[in-house]
Structure 1
């Protein structure tokens, strides 16, 4: 091993000692209970990896030779709470507080081996008898390490520690066998690249490319969860590029590789694919309190309507008229297919639809009416729309970028100014439905809705009206209707 690699290895080992000492009272106590019952217990997988990276949290994963019913018996009376949600797959969960009051979320899984047949979306689970059996079935070598308890013995049959020091993802066995057992591991490779900034070994990339079609047997929900974790990682560009380069994106998010539009010397336009990845990174830089999946997905999908709307104009320019409208429909369709919650589908689609609204107001001389409509249309998504719009500027022309930023600064100042004068966050007509019915002498029905909409348009156009003015405007409208 090279000196630099040896030094990196020593660093991860030192970090691991500190992290494991922090959780050792709970882990050792649990290990002794399993030992006294005649079973083996080990901290395993992501918990060991994160300890070695110095980022171990309070979620701890263990593996054991005890069967789930025996695990339940050991945990009851020791844990503060026990749940059996994953028991069909050999996993029992519990919560345990240490002497300092720190809560640990613990999962204990029986040694197991799981695999898909060619057509199944669900794994077949069988239990193993040794930790070596369990570790060889794991997705990557950096997740195939364990620490036996209570004696704290390091178990690393696949050299995961060296791979961790090198920051590389390899599989314990051949990648073909691993991805055949569970095709979702191909998505996990991209996800870990995005979360940890790891490189994926060439043979693993080759297997992902060769076996990309295999992802089709995995449920949309599991694919969605991995995609979400990838997009919310610290380095999503790295994971997304891997999905595109291996062809996995063609199966799970085809709108992304479709952005790699062909260009020629006569019809020049921005590289939409690279632009999209840059917009995503710029949106991340504007986040204020951790990853915002709605903002990140909107940034990733904001231009997916461009391939369907591209037109070559007579003067040599390339246009993408109404790509935001087409993109919103494509966003809704893709997110629905991936089983995203309805509220997230609605929010991301709306941001995609609105992302060009700012540019429709020319030089930035916003009227009060335009500001009100902008705020009304964005609704609770306004702050995200601010971030998305600012992120969408990727020009290398510093003068142009500065001008756009100043223009948007001006818009935000106008919004703040009007918010002080009016209730922009809850714009509504100056008369409610009951008042409309009473003034016009009509029952509830379509007429009231039309009158309400007319008054709302007046409110957006002219701002608040006094009660008498609103009544007069309503009567004038009603006279015209009759």
Structure 2
């Protein structure tokens, strides 16, 4: 088989060559399959190695037990046995075909003796290739290599069948479009548009997992555009309106971290941070992430409202948007709504003079309580008053803060 660098061949043989010999010696076939084959043809090395064989799970577990340091069989009823040998982790699955109920994403699995049956059940033709060991024979019944070279995203079976069986594949199509520079063929795009509502049967957790992978590809814009054209994005965010306001190119302009990409995606349709949290919580996005995204959206909205450039106004703006200042500026610039130059200049001047950390007052609640001789709400009100003074007048020493509190106590 040509088209694969010798160093990449050597790497794969190093990782699974001895395991393949054990399967072949026992009379079973051994194929590396899916993403690892696709990546090899693209000149990349895949961290995960998926293997398929005509051996049934019991025989597979026996061979892996002799080869590896640890074996796990939680997926045995679906034909999958996992193992680790040193730092090499593999999953070996018996050739299988799958059938799905119309209202469920859980397949009925039937084991098969033919590699072609196994490849037919996969999502896209570029993932429906296998390499047989030790011969390095490429098994490619659905022209996946040709599609990879041509930049075409197609399915091994008809796309209506593929997406009806597992609707998450429609969302995965967006990731492959963007991540591998592929163009969905007409049948694929038409099927997504017609079957978008079937995404409702997919668990929110699986949707979030796929979105988390999709949003951090180098340039996700082409995939976002596909979601818009087909209406799939509305199925992902049924509570959102105006999804057409999302600009796919913006996601290509901001840094590829998950929080920034979520904020860039949602800002045009969810200017309210509470709506952002609601949309992301509905997708089971961890609160640690949704809170950061909501913070960037809120900071962007607040930054758009800044007009005055006097120190007090700038301090109040920075107090509201920190620690999301830089992210908010980047988001607004990407959407062509950057703050006026004079506002940005005033922010930079003030940060140069007073630092970039969050504004604080030099007294804590215990110290204030001792100074005013009271506890409870009066302490909180005094701390708030101190912060207002800090924002109006600038840095405040501890001695100055004590003097202010005592003066307020006398006058009040």
TM > 0.5 between the two? yes
Instruction: Check whether the contact 1:27–1:150 (CA below 8 A) recurs between aligned residues.
Output: no
Report what 1:470 is aligned to. 401
Which region of structure 1 is more displaced relative to structure 2, 180-189 or 372-381? Answer: 372-381
2:65 and 2:99 map into 1 onto residues whose CA distance is 30
2:41 and 2:342 map into 1 onto residues whose CA distance is 46
1:345 matched to 2:290? yes
1:113 and 1:371 map into 2 onto residues whose CA distance is 63
User: Which digits, 9 at most, give the CA deviation of each residue in 1:395-447, with x for residues without a partner?
Assistant: xxxxxx8x94675355335324421xxxx42532211111112112224x222
1:137 matched to 2:73? no
1:253 matched to 2:237? yes
* 1:461 to partner: Cα distance: 2.8
2:269 and 2:101 map into 1 onto residues whose CA distance is 35
* 1:146 to partner: Cα distance: 0.2
2:8 and 2:345 map into 1 onto residues whose CA distance is 45
1:446 matched to 2:377? yes
1:353 and 1:393 map into 2 onto residues whose CA distance is 17
Instruction: Check whether the contact 1:16–1:53 (CA below 8 A) recurs between aligned residues.
Output: no
* 1:77 to partner: Cα distance: 4.6
Ranges of 4+ aligned residues in structure 1 off by more than 6 Å: none
Provide the TM-score with structure 1 as the length reference: 0.78
Report what 1:56 is aligned to. 45
Instruction: Check whether the contact 1:197–1:235 (CA below 8 A) recurs between aligned residues.
Output: no
1:256 and 1:278 map into 2 onto residues whose CA distance is 20
1:14 matched to 2:3? yes
CA distance 1:447–1:407, shift in 2 (3 Å):
closer
CA distance 1:16–1:251, shift in 2 (3 Å):
farther
Report what 1:167 is aligned to. 151
Report what 2:280 is aligned to. 335
Report what 2:253 is aligned to. 282
From 371, 378, 381, the equivalent of 2:321 is 378
CA distance 1:409–1:72, shift in 2 (3 Å):
farther
* 1:85 to partner: Cα distance: 5.3
Instruction: Check whether the contact 1:115–1:182 (CA below 8 A) recurs between aligned residues.
Output: no
1:70 matched to 2:15? no
Please show how residues 4-403 of structure 1 align to structure 2 within 5 Å: 13-15=2-4, 18-84=7-73, 86-97=75-86, 103-254=87-238, 258-260=242-244, 272-273=245-246, 276-283=247-254, 287=255, 291-305=256-270, 324-325=271-272, 328-362=273-307, 365-367=309-311, 369-393=312-336
Instruction: Check whether the contact 1:44–1:62 (CA below 8 A) recurs between aligned residues.
Output: yes
1:174 and 1:473 map into 2 onto residues whose CA distance is 75
* 1:467 to partner: Cα distance: 2.6
Instruction: Check whether the contact 2:50–2:91 (CA below 8 A) recurs between aligned residues.
Output: yes
1:115 and 1:234 map into 2 onto residues whose CA distance is 35
Q: Which runs of 5+ in 1 are unaligned?
A: 1-9, 98-102, 261-271, 306-323, 395-400
Q: Which runs of 5+ in 2 are unaligned?
A: none
CA distance 1:81–1:383, shift in 2 (3 Å):
farther
The secondary structure found in structure 1 opposite 2:396 is coil
User: Which digits, 9 at most, give the CA deviation of each residue in 1:335-377, with x for residues without a partner?
Assistant: 11111001111111121111133333326x351x444444443
Instruction: Check whether the contact 2:303–2:321 (CA below 8 A) recurs between aligned residues.
Output: no
Instruction: Check whether the contact 2:302–2:321 (CA below 8 A) recurs between aligned residues.
Output: no
CA RMSD of aligned residues (A): 2.6
1:425 matched to 2:351? no
The secondary structure found in structure 2 opposite 1:350 is helix
2:193 and 2:52 map into 1 onto residues whose CA distance is 32
1:241 and 1:254 map into 2 onto residues whose CA distance is 17
The secondary structure found in structure 1 opposite 2:371 is helix
1:406 and 1:104 map into 2 onto residues whose CA distance is 56
Provide the TM-score with structure 2 as the length reference: 0.90
Instruction: Check whether the contact 1:145–1:160 (CA below 8 A) recurs between aligned residues.
Output: yes
2:66 and 2:374 map into 1 onto residues whose CA distance is 68
The secondary structure found in structure 1 opposite 2:67 is coil
CA distance 1:448–1:71, shift in 2 (3 Å):
farther
CA distance 1:172–1:371, shift in 2 (3 Å):
same
1:442 and 1:417 map into 2 onto residues whose CA distance is 35
2:29 and 2:160 map into 1 onto residues whose CA distance is 31
